Structure 1
Amino acid sequence: MSQTYTKARAKGMMTKQELEEAVRDGRIDTVIVAIVDMQGRLMGKRLTGDYFLQGGLDHGTHFCNYLLGTDMEMNTPPGFREMNWEGGYGDWLARPDWSTLRWIPWLNKTAMVLADVVSEETGELIDIAPRSILKKQLQKSRNRGFHVVMASELEFYTMEETYESIHDKGYEGLLTAGRYNEDYNLLQGTKNEPLYHKFRQYMTESGIPVESSKGEACAGQHEVNLVYADALTSADRHVSFKHGLKEISIQEGYAITFMAKPDHQWTGSSGHIHISLWDPDKTNNLFYDPTAENRMSETMRHFLGGVMKYTRDFSLCFAPNVNSYKRFALESWAPVHIVWSRDNRSAGIRIVGDKQGLRIENRITGADINPYLAYAAMIGAGLEGIEQKIEPEEELKGNAYESNGSLRIPKSLYEAIDCWEESDAVKKILGESVAYHYGYAAKLEQQAYDAVVTTWERARYFEQG
């Protein structure tokens, strides 16, 4: 991960005027308008270029509000306050944020713009929408004189088969695009380089700058590092990147998964988050103090203290699914304890970089996060630490897996739900409506899992039970 903060406009981004010109001369004929749902997926519409030129996006485009009240399978369970049959499942408005407009090189003559979810009556942001949640924390940061800079590292598995073939055989016997651990292994990486080269090239061409890609610690596992940027831009890039990789893999006859733990014998896939606070002019990293111990400023110490104190409270944002908690295992490269350490990959919170590149790396987050929620939780907890002047515990020296007495990451979604519901900080930082909405969604996910009889159960109990 680079230690520099790039503020220039990324290649592949477009202005609204440039889109109009591209539509008129035939280079673009389709405009995708996308919102981000609770699970971090892109949902939206494909509009014709002609409709766009006629002013079809001047006020945004409508969508059914149920899109922010579904489970992973797009069911519409009862119990959500903002969307239900009693309310008729009405419309909200997707209002394009034209600063996110990008060319999509892997789709024919297509551009995409991300949208905020707003009320058509008032034009105000809908509180429970993921992008709104992050924007609220960024406004708090600006009010306190902080500019938040973040980046994501994303790990994933590549399969030598399609989503359809995997589905048809019941998600058993998955064929990874590799046969041995390929962590930094250039020979194994070369075998899939035709695909990974497309990933890096297309992402950069669409305004999602990639630093590097490398093999990860299991067969078929790979990692891509995205370039540091302001927090909202990084979250936008994160979801666009995940969506784009899946689309490209479909075109090439592969399948990509960002599951935290696709198989109990495989290394989990992480989604590490890097963060630092800068001054409003975006010239100085406020985490760095050359006179302080470890070069960590008071602002950084207190931010770190808040993140550590409230990590258990916000675990639903850092590990959102039942499967997420299978990743946290001893000596698995995923942490189990909420401790911090300098350049120590066994710790949940790792301090890396120096001077302008000094930053906090959250290693707890998995590849299955919704980045808007995870970013917002980390920012909100850190700001609370600054406000309360929370000092972090002493730096962990040595093997964090053996850190007896330290706070532990919740072991299950059940435990994370309890932490969420018992937390005053979640309600204070995110708001009561957001706390209810995402807590209720987590309960529904747990209930759905509990109702299913698994292959593991049949194999264990069918004959012997």
Structure 2
Amino acid sequence: MTAGSRPGPDGIATEEEVVAMHTHHEYVTARRPELERWARELGADGVRYIQVQFPDLLGSLRTKICPLAKGLAPEGDGLNTALFSCCHGDGEPIGVPVFEAPVGGFANGFPNYISIADPATVIRLPWQPDTAAVITNATRTDGEACPLDARAQLAAIEQQAAAMGFETRFALEYELCIFAADDELHRQGRHALLKPWGRSLLNYDLLRAPGFESLARELIARLDGIGIGTAAVHTEYGRGMIEYALAPLPALAAADAAVRSKLYLKQLCEEQGLVATFMARCRPVGSESASGAHHHQSLRRDGRNVFNEPGSAMLSETGRHYAGGLLHTMRELHVLFRPTINSYRRMDRQAWSPEDVSWGMENRCTALRGITIPSATSARIEHRVPGADVNPYLTIAGMLAGGLYGIRERIDPGPPCRGDPMVEGSFERLPRTLPDSTAHFRSSAFARATFGDEFVEHYALGRDAEWQAWLGWLDSHVTEFEYRRYFDSL
């Protein structure tokens, strides 16, 4: 099988290989002792409040503040099913905050599901010493497993990797744009008039923005204080653009770290009179950087990086098969990597944002970049397609599932591209619109075998709603294009 062929049922994880997600009873039984311990120890140490965080399907941490004991209750708490169907911006600018879906809508009255705190995610915030935080999972009202829980989806796929003898490692590298806060412009929705933070668009520049170094140091310190390592923070090409790279962690922990890093960076910016956005493109098209979220990934076995090929600058056979699986499933899963209208404004290989299903060694123009330096432990694959607007639970889940599929099926990725993939090879193009990406996902046998029919249908329904919201807004507005094209000429 080659990376360019379309996925089908052959080689997809068999029923006995798929690890089931947990029921309410299983979560409570497994988590009760640790949740009760955390409640005792944190309470004795002066913690009074806890941020209870639920990752929605858009990649945000929906958060409420609770008394410590309430937030760590072993039996869990109610979870409004509308949170599974939230629209971006909670409906801005058209005023439709949720889309109608079987999980929750007017047909069933938006019932509660159950959220269960995960004790492995309990942290204490050093900058708010009386406050802790915990991330939750979800189960259905009847206690059965919830296939719409993105954390549970990723955890199940990580267990498949463990069953194959692998330890996972993922690290996200986020680009974003920071502006001087202007509450009035923000409230009016005039985001384009916000002033980018800094005096120039210089890359890797310590002096571009007053206070940049202090913000970078504080971000590193805060993340380190909650167990999240940071490899680097630097300015990126473009006014207001910065980048930070997280240290590698196992798959689920890496996704938890990614969503928390975004939340707490935004909070830090707010404290300093700034506002941050992770939308894929907010700077002018063709002149400044867009915001990516490159996913670095590798597998280990018995502590050894199995992507490393001793004495070679090439990925190992296992690493190449993993890459083959990523390529093989990339078009079907593309909507996870580019999930918004705005995602496709970033799609430009000349700005190092891939347009095709390609790979190369140390090639930033390809969708996958193989890396083997500076040491054996560094061998990894950088997936360069996702923007900063993704849900990392879903991107990591899709990538890991695709990579494991490639290893099982020994998929050959083909020869690496050494230059511009659009010139050098006849690589398959990635879908260029949200509806096209959604259609690939909805019809994918691999996606359905990986996430289940209910998840695929629900996620695709959400992407349909996003496209319809865009069309509805266009239909109700006369655009700048129309004024400039027709006002004087007709």
Same-fold call, TM > 0.5? Answer: yes
- Are 2:174 and 1:114 equivalent residues in the alignment? no
What CA deviation, in whole Å up to 9, does each residue of 1:240-263 have, x standing for no partner?
Answer: 011111112122211000011013
- Are 2:188 and 1:188 equivalent residues in the alignment? no
- Are 2:246 and 1:215 equivalent residues in the alignment? no
Q: What amino acid does structure 2 have at the position aligned with 1:45? A: K
The one of 93, 112, 115 equivalent to 2:114 is 93
Q: What amino acid does structure 1 have at the position aligned with 2:357? A: I
- Are 2:145 and 1:138 equivalent residues in the alignment? no
Percent identity over the alignment?
26
What CA deviation, in whole Å up to 9, does each residue of 1:195-243 have, x standing for no partner?
Answer: 2322222111122221210111111111111111101110000000111
Distance in 2, Cα, partners of 1:25 & 1:376: 36
- Alignment-derived partner of residue 64 in structure 1: 80
Distance in 2, Cα, partners of 1:290 & 1:207: 32
Distance in 1, Cα, partners of 2:449 & 2:184: 43
Mapped contact 1:278–1:285 kept (Cα < 8 A): yes
- Are 2:58 and 1:39 equivalent residues in the alignment? yes
The one of 383, 389, 400 equivalent to 2:421 is 400
The one of 329, 334, 352 equivalent to 1:315 is 334
The one of 409, 426, 437 equivalent to 1:416 is 437
Mapped contact 1:16–1:101 kept (Cα < 8 A): no
Distance in 2, Cα, partners of 1:76 & 1:41: 15
- Alignment-derived partner of residue 5 in structure 1: none
Distance in 2, Cα, partners of 1:71 & 1:163: 23
Q: What amino acid does structure 1 have at the position aligned with 2:371? A: V
1:338-417 mapped onto 2 (5 Å cutoff):
338-353=357-372, 354-417=375-438
Mapped contact 1:274–1:361 kept (Cα < 8 A): yes
What CA deviation, in whole Å up to 9, does each residue of 1:335-383 have, x standing for no partner?
Answer: 2222111111111110113422211100111111100000011011112
- Alignment-derived partner of residue 447 in structure 1: 468
Q: What amino acid does structure 2 have at the position aligned with 1:139? A: Q
Distance in 1, Cα, partners of 2:377 & 2:231: 18
The one of 324, 329, 333 equivalent to 1:305 is 324
Distance in 1, Cα, partners of 2:66 & 2:157: 32
Change in Cα spacing, 1:452 to 1:299, as seen in structure 2 (3 Å) is same
Distance in 1, Cα, partners of 2:441 & 2:484: 33
Distance in 1, Cα, partners of 2:189 & 2:68: 40
TM-score w.r.t. the length of structure 1 is 0.90
Q: Give the superposition deviation at 1:107.
A: 3.7
Q: Give the superposition deviation at 1:29.
A: 1.3
Change in Cα spacing, 1:219 to 1:172, as seen in structure 2 (3 Å) is closer
Change in Cα spacing, 1:300 to 1:45, as seen in structure 2 (3 Å) is same
Change in Cα spacing, 1:459 to 1:264, as seen in structure 2 (3 Å) is farther
Mapped contact 2:204–2:236 kept (Cα < 8 A): yes
* More deviation, 160-169/342-351: 160-169
Distance in 1, Cα, partners of 2:101 & 2:467: 16
- Alignment-derived partner of residue 6 in structure 2: none
Q: Secondary structure at the residue paired with 1:149?
A: strand
Superposition RMSD on alpha carbons, in Å?
2.2
- Alignment-derived partner of residue 10 in structure 1: none
What CA deviation, in whole Å up to 9, does each residue of 1:153-175 have, x standing for no partner?
Answer: 01111101245533325222231
Distance in 1, Cα, partners of 2:115 & 2:38: 21
Q: Which runs of 5+ in 1 are unaligned?
A: 1-13
Change in Cα spacing, 1:135 to 1:169, as seen in structure 2 (3 Å) is closer
Q: Give the superposition deviation at 1:50.
A: 5.6
Mapped contact 2:35–2:74 kept (Cα < 8 A): no
Mapped contact 1:258–1:269 kept (Cα < 8 A): yes
What CA deviation, in whole Å up to 9, does each residue of 1:58-86 have, x standing for no partner?
Answer: 21121211101121133454542222222
What CA deviation, in whole Å up to 9, does each residue of 1:98-149 have, x standing for no partner?
Answer: 1111112344621100011123533x43111111221121122122222211
Mapped contact 1:117–1:126 kept (Cα < 8 A): yes
Q: Secondary structure at the residue paired with 1:411?
A: coil
Q: Secondary structure at the residue paired with 1:262?
A: coil
Mapped contact 1:189–1:214 kept (Cα < 8 A): no
Q: Secondary structure at the residue paired with 2:335?
A: helix
- Alignment-derived partner of residue 8 in structure 1: none
Q: Give the superposition deviation at 1:15.
A: 8.1
Distance in 1, Cα, partners of 2:191 & 2:70: 41
Q: What amino acid does structure 1 have at the position aligned with 2:248? A: Y
Change in Cα spacing, 1:179 to 1:400, as seen in structure 2 (3 Å) is farther
What CA deviation, in whole Å up to 9, does each residue of 1:316-343 have, x standing for no partner?
Answer: 1111101001101141122222211111
Distance in 2, Cα, partners of 1:116 & 1:103: 19
- Alignment-derived partner of residue 276 in structure 1: 298
Distance in 1, Cα, partners of 2:414 & 2:61: 39
- Alignment-derived partner of residue 165 in structure 1: 185
Q: Give the superposition deviation at 1:396.
A: 0.3
Change in Cα spacing, 1:114 to 1:67, as seen in structure 2 (3 Å) is same
Q: What amino acid does structure 2 have at the position aligned with 1:456? A: E
Residues matched between the structures, number: 444
Q: What amino acid does structure 2 have at the position aligned with 1:118? A: T
Mapped contact 1:322–1:413 kept (Cα < 8 A): yes
Q: What amino acid does structure 1 have at the position aligned with 2:319? A: M
- Alignment-derived partner of residue 169 in structure 2: 149
TM-score w.r.t. the length of structure 2 is 0.85
What CA deviation, in whole Å up to 9, does each residue of 1:170-202 have, x standing for no partner?
Answer: 222231002322211122156422323222221
Distance in 1, Cα, partners of 2:183 & 2:305: 43
Q: Secondary structure at the residue paired with 1:158?
A: strand
- Alignment-derived partner of residue 256 in structure 2: 236
Q: Secondary structure at the residue paired with 1:360?
A: strand
Distance in 1, Cα, partners of 2:431 & 2:408: 26
The one of 195, 198, 201 equivalent to 2:218 is 198
- Alignment-derived partner of residue 332 in structure 1: 351
Mapped contact 1:63–1:92 kept (Cα < 8 A): yes
Mapped contact 1:317–1:374 kept (Cα < 8 A): yes
